[in-house]
């Protein structure tokens, strides 16, 4: 049987935009791997009447309802009470849970338990209790009129801990299928171009399916299969991966990876090479992405943010005659920057970025969006020119950092560097 779920997040702070509803994303990802379809996300404030209305709508269109938030001890934590009223469930005190909450306050917080926390130990009669080892609010699950209701606390760390420990085992018993998704990552082709090449195939797919998602500066293709086991679903996705690679070619750079920097890290590690960065308009963005990877010190030597022209000359050793003749934003300067950072750091490979991120052209009239990416390698020095047009400053910077890693990735895998 295929199940349909709705996620209801409770909290006025969500509606006001004070916090982001990350719980819904975590729950959706979990449910998809369990083969449970999520068709609706609902957010409702701390208001019993509006929550009751949302629950009545949800029970008519979903057979699994998951709620987050409103399980605390304060006057506006009314999720549990409202759910029980809606589904005609009796709230009863669980003495063992009350003792656990009291012990948590005394041993972990070293203070007596406030009496209003007693209501957190009141749960629907006969429910499955979800313990909370990292907080005071337990969750629970029950079935009424063919609908499974699962309640989780609002704090993301508490919710996710409870989901993994208790929620997923409960839900796993309800589903006979699993859904597996793989993210196929591409760089160098816009979403419309990708869609044009794959649209006819994607429109005919039912299981597995394939969909495009535009990310800043790149396109993600999500392939999804539903099967009885994870092994079967993975086997169904192999032909999809092969078809995408055949159609799009080497703009595909990886599957289930966080970005181009991660792919470069893996390739550098495999080949025993080191990398250094020399950045101008990106202001250290490429270095930041590389050092965010655990173990980056195995391949990354360091970087120089040479924002001033004098730093390009005095630190990276870019010849003054090049700067005078061609300017800071030029192919010649990009090449010299990449070679210079290799000399300064002792890295095997150096990548440089120099360009105009805006809002105005540079002093030589180079327009916004023009960026040069230099790459110094043991086999020679290369350069790619990027023209992104008059985009937003941060978009130009992000795109330039991606181009920097793309030229590294292409050289490491034997692909053309200067063009995509």
d(CA 149, CA 122): 16
Assess if residue 214 is contained within a domain.
Answer: yes
Both 166 and 185 in a single domain? no
Give the pLDDT of residue 143.
97
Assess if residue 337 is contained within a domain.
Answer: yes
Looking up residue 183, the CATH number of its domain turns out to be 3.30.70.2860
Both 158 and 187 in a single domain? no
Both 222 and 325 in a single domain? no
Kind plus residue range of the DSSP H or E element containing 401: helix 393-412
Both 240 and 277 in a single domain? no
Other CB atoms within 10 A of residue 210 CB: 20
Looking up residue 72, the CATH number of its domain turns out to be 3.40.980.10
Query: In the numeric block, which tokens belong to residue 112?
Result: 């007596």
Query: In the numeric block, which tokens belong to residue 57?
Result: 């709508």
Both 212 and 245 in a single domain? yes
Query: In the numeric block, which tokens belong to residue 210?
Result: 């394939």
Give the angle 228-234-239 at the CA atoms, nearest 5°: 120
- pTM for this predicted structure: 0.79
Q: How remote is the C-alpha of 212 from its chain's centroid?
A: 15
Both 368 and 299 in a single domain? yes
From 214, 240, 255, the end of a domain falls on 255
Both 291 and 218 in a single domain? no
Give the angle 214-219-223 at the CA atoms, nearest 5°: 100
d(CA 415, CA 42): 47
Query: In the numeric block, which tokens belong to residue 118?
Result: 């007693």
- Cα torsion 228, 229, 232, 234 to 10°: value is 130
Assess if residue 143 is contained within a domain.
Answer: yes
The residue segments making up the domain with residue 231 are: 178-255
Nearest to 306 by CA among 294, 316, 292, 319: 316
List of residues 6+ apart from 141 with CB closer than 8 A: 127, 128, 130, 148, 149, 150, 151, 167, 170
Residues in the chain: 420
Q: Which residues of the chain have pLDDT under 50?
A: none
- Per DSSP, the residues of 260-283 read HHHHHHHHHHHHT--EEEEESTTT
pLDDT in tens, 274-324: 999 999 999 999 999 999 999 999 999 999 999 999 999 999 999 999 999
Give the pLDDT of residue 80.
93
Give the pLDDT of residue 282.
98
Both 56 and 160 in a single domain? yes
What's the helix, strand, coil split of the chain in %, to 5? Answer: 45, 25, 30
Q: CB pairs under 8 A, 24+ apart, for 194-203? A: 194/219, 194/221, 194/248, 197/247, 197/248, 198/244, 198/247, 198/248, 201/243, 201/247
From 149, 172, 195, the end of a domain falls on 172
d(CA 118, CA 219): 50
Assess if residue 420 is contained within a domain.
Answer: no
Both 375 and 314 in a single domain? yes
Give the pLDDT of residue 1.
62
Both 118 and 47 in a single domain? yes
d(CA 383, CA 377): 11
């Amino acid at each position: 049987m295929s199940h349909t779920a709705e996620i209801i997040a409770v909290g006025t702070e969500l509606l006001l935009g004070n916090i982001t509803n990350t719980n819904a994303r975590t729950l959706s990802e979990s449910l998809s791997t369990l083969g449970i379809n999520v068709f609706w996300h609902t957010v409702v404030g701390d208001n019993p009447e509006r929550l009751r209305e949302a629950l009545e709508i949800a029970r008519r269109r979903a057979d699994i309802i998951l709620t987050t938030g409103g399980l605390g001890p304060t006057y506006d934590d009314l999720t549990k009470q409202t759910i029980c009223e809606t589904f005609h469930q009796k709230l009863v005190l669980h003495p063992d849970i009350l003792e656990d909450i009291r012990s948590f306050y005394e041993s972990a917080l070293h203070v007596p338990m406030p009496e209003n926390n007693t209501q957190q130990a009141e749960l629907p009669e006969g429910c499955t209790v979800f313990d909370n080892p990292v907080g005071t609010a337990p969750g629970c699950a029950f079935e009424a009129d063919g609908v499974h209701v699962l309640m989780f606390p609002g704090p993301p760390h508490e919710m996710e801990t409870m989901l993994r420990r208790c929620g997923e085992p409960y839900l796993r018993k309800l589903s006979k299928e699993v859904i597996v998704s793989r993210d196929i990552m591409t760089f160098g082709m816009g979403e419309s171009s990708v869609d044009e090449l794959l649209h006819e195939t994607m429109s005919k797919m039912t299981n597995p399916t394939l969909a495009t998602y535009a990310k800043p500066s790149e396109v993600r293709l999500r392939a999804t299969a539903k099967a009885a086991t994870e092994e079967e679903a993975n086997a169904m996705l192999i032909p999809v991966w092969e078809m995408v690679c055949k159609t799009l070619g080497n703009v595909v750079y990886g599957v289930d990876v966080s970005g181009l920097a991660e792919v470069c890290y893996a390739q550098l590690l495999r080949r025993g090479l080191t990398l250094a960065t020399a950045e101008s308009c990106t202001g250290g963005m490429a270095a930041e992405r590389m050092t965010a990877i655990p173990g980056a010190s195995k391949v990354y030597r360091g970087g120089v943010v040479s924002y001033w022209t004098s730093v390009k000359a005095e630190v990276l050793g870019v010849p003054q005659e090049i700067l005078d003749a061609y300017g800071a934003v030029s192919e010649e300067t990009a090449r010299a920057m990449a070679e210079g950072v290799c000399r300064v750091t002792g890295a095997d490979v150096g990548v440089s970025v120099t360009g105009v991120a805006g809002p105005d052209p540079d002093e030589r009239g180079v327009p916004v969006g023009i960026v040069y990416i230099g790459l110094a390698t043991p086999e020679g020095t290369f350069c790619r020119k990027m023209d992104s047009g008059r985009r937003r400053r941060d978009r130009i910077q992000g795109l330039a950092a991606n181009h920097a890693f793309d030229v590294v990735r292409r050289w490491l895998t034997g692909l053309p560097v200067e063009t995509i």
